[in-house]
Structure 1
Amino acid sequence: MISNYLISFNNVSFSYGSHLILDDLNFSVDKGDYLAILGPNGGGKTTLVKLLLGLLKPQQGSISIFGRPPGRSGDMIGYMPQYTTVSESFPITVRDAVMMGMISSGFKGLFGMKFGSGSSEAVEKALERVGMQDHINEKVSDLSGGQKQRVFIARAIVGEPELLLLDEPAASVDQAGKTGLYCLLRELNQDMTVVMISHDISVLGQGVKTVACVNRKVHIHDRPVITRELLSEAYGETAQGTCPIELVTHGEIPHRVLEFHPDDNAGDSEGGWND
């Protein structure tokens, strides 16, 4: 029976040996969603995505993606891994890097095989979508961090997938690059479902629709609002009297958003946020 959801986890648990990483996950993702997966290092975020891709298999429960088990919908998924560094000595061009993304979309290539007749147009279209068409003949190693990330996103979307999975896409770019990257993902979400792993809670102000807090368990929030509950679920309880997070974001006037201290007299009595 095909699920009504694009992604569905049912009673899923996963362990590395005796070490439990994910415990009894039950959640679903709708088509067209923009889901941010938040949580601490070691909380299970990357493991969850590997389960989605079929790179790992759960010891318990079942996973459905596009109504099928993981690993059977590769040409409907674009994936950008966390580590996408390119050696200075590896002379791959932007065109070639994006072309590699077509292999998982049913196009044959590399090692003496030929790409499909529409491959060049598809590469150019993907680069245009991410604003990198003018760099098509440059070496990837010569690009800035933000430009490289856009090229790797182009590689992930060149086959026009219905689902885009990204693992820490903004980890190696500066603040200006992050802003442009998040604007791009918001635009792409108009045409595809986006699921993004991040350790940066500031992504919640960047077009995200739904939040999954992953820390062995998964808690779904249907609004990208920073609350004490969300922080506790994603990062664990903090010591009494401490500020667990300082969020730096952008607006007309740069500002910080800080949690109220327990002894604060002003502001929301239920522990809202200063702005």
Structure 2
Amino acid sequence: MTSPQQTPKTVTSTARTLSIVTAVVGGGALLAVAFSSVFGPIQARISSLTDVGSTGPAANSINEPQVAWTDDTLSVPVDEVQSLRVDAEAVTFDLAFGDVENAELTVEYSATRGSGAEWSMHVEGRTLVAERLDGPNFGPNVGEERVKLVLPQWLSEDGGIAAELTVSAATLTAEGDFSELSAGVEAGKLKYSGSTPAIDLEVSGGKAQIDAGDVRTADIVVEAGDAQLAFTGDQPDSVDVEASVGKAVLELPKGAYRVEASAEVGAVDNQLTVDESSQHRVQASAEAARIVLRETSRG
């Protein structure tokens, strides 16, 4: 009995070649997928950094990218507002009073690509709050962010409103009269000019420059950094300045003061007229810092 013919279990050279090619191509495809998943985000980031000026008008050359500005303005009624709180973080912030009906906050962001952070302005109770909603933009589209807040002029009248300003890796410039000023500088720079009877300042990094009139009381703490304050008008009743590291320069209106000074590693340079019976008290304490007390040269 003849057995059925068996199909040979051999592979021709052509079939073997096709199998090898298929395996190589398949492996290459898998490798390409893996490469794309790992290096795709990096390539996208590099593209975003090098593809400058792809949005907006074309630049004159690749070394002169166009700058795109994104403008937005928020307007909030402030009829019941009695105080202000501003949190300035990684930004250039300008605060002033002007001929406006509502509080107006304008955000300008310049970058080769992308847009800036989101800002909010709203009223909490009777406090007007201006703050960043998200963190600073440190991505590939980072640019310069400028924020300007203009308040109605009447808010600075009759003593003005109370202000609380926080500066963190930012530059904040403020002009106007406040019923009291509380400011904290963690890094960056604060510059204020105006009139306020009470100042509470804490500098833990950066620099604070304050030119204020009609100050009655001042509490100044410099943990690190530089603070320069010049008071004009009548002599203040009480001034306390404490510096741990850095420097504090305090210029006071002409007159006699009851000065209480102490220093550890640092020094207190008192150039004021001293009268132990004076009703105007200045207390200065320096640890590893230098404090300078002198008469102001400003009117």
The answer, yes or no, to whether TM exceeds 0.5 is: no
More helix by proportion, 1 or 2? 1
Larger Rg: 2
More strand by proportion, 1 or 2? 2
TM-score by length of 1: 0.29
Name the structure, 1 or 2, with higher relative contact order (CA <8 Å, separation 6+).
1
